[in-house]
Structure 1
């Protein structure tokens, strides 16, 4: 039997340019998902990535960005009615410019998210600025909950977005 890697590696053909150059839309298969190739933990299709159960939530990606611009990092998610493990547990939306750049993050509680919602919510967006002198123009981003040790399930990731919002 051939060895199958347990993690999903991003398929760059699933990263789409938004209309008018407004940013990138990252479909579920365009994301790196820890345990994503293990059917005990995730069910991944072209339209969504459904978390069945994990204690270590790590979903990440990267896209090219332009110098001198600012971007919002968002995830469009749903928590199913029978979702579990989200009470009193925050997930972090994190992002940084370049491999060695410092992370910025926003904590989000998913216990109330029952329909397709972009997180972080509009009043608390994660904004990343790309300095005019930046050399590494990859924005690394992700959705994480790796600290509580709780088993979680019922989360559906519809897509991620990196949206250009203006100049720095």
Structure 2
């Protein structure tokens, strides 16, 4: 198992609210506790926090959301951006994986990060009415090309009930 950051177990929506932001401190970031690879800034007094990839080869960031309801649709994703001096993302597409529960039935989406300023990567998940485990799990991955990468900021993950 790789070291990761994880301060809270799972994000949950509260009351009638239909959108949840999952802050960087609540994400499972592989090697996130290694200060040489990641910088995790917690927002203070109205500032927005972020997780910054400083020098990563194995890029894996996962979000988990408990509290989804069977028979409903959710949009899940990540709000990310690249710094001006970001490197290593050329020819290294990032993939987003989504699944319901701890199932092997998942979907993958591909995003090229070349020449982009502000990015959002998302997918729609429909939870079957018969689902026993309605945990939403989704993540960003680039673990295949073997290049060092830097300059990607993760502002937050999100879950929106549709």
TM bracket, shorter-chain basis: 0.7 to 0.9
Task: Give, in whole Å, the separation in 1 of the partners of 2:121 and 2:93.
Answer: 12
CA contact (8 A) 2:92 2:145 kept: yes
Aligned to 1:6: 3
Kindly indicate whether residue 32 of structure 2 is the aligned counterpart of residue 36 of structure 1.
yes
Aligned to 1:123: none
Q: What SS class does the counterpart of residue 78 from structure 1 fall into?
A: strand
Q: 1:100 aligns with which of 100, 103, 108?
A: 103
Size of the aligned set, in residue pairs, is 154
TM-score, structure 2 as length reference: 0.87
- Where in structure 2 are the equivalents of 1:1-150 lying within 5 Å? 6-12=3-9, 15=11, 17=13, 20-46=16-42, 47-64=49-66, 65-115=68-118, 117-120=119-122, 126-150=123-147
Task: Give, in whole Å, the separation in 2 of the partners of 1:25 and 1:112.
Answer: 26
CA contact (8 A) 2:77 2:138 kept: no
RMSD: 1.8
Q: 2:149 aligns with which of 137, 152, 168?
A: 152
CA contact (8 A) 1:18 1:25 kept: no
1:122-154 Cα distance to aligned partner (Å, 9 max, x none): xxxx11110000001111110111111111110
1:98-128 Cα distance to aligned partner (Å, 9 max, x none): 112411121001122223x3224xxxxx111
Task: Give, in whole Å, the separation in 2 of the partners of 1:128 and 1:137.
Answer: 11
What's the CA shift for 1:19? 8.2
Whose helix proportion is higher, 1 or 2? 1
Runs of 4 or more, structure 1, over 4 Å off, are: none
What's the CA shift for 1:70? 1.0
1:75-109 Cα distance to aligned partner (Å, 9 max, x none): 10110000011112210111100112411121001
1:27-65 Cα distance to aligned partner (Å, 9 max, x none): 000100000000000000110001001111000021121
Q: What SS class does the counterpart of residue 21 from structure 1 fall into?
A: coil
Q: What SS class does the counterpart of residue 106 from structure 1 fall into?
A: strand
What's the CA shift for 1:161? 0.6
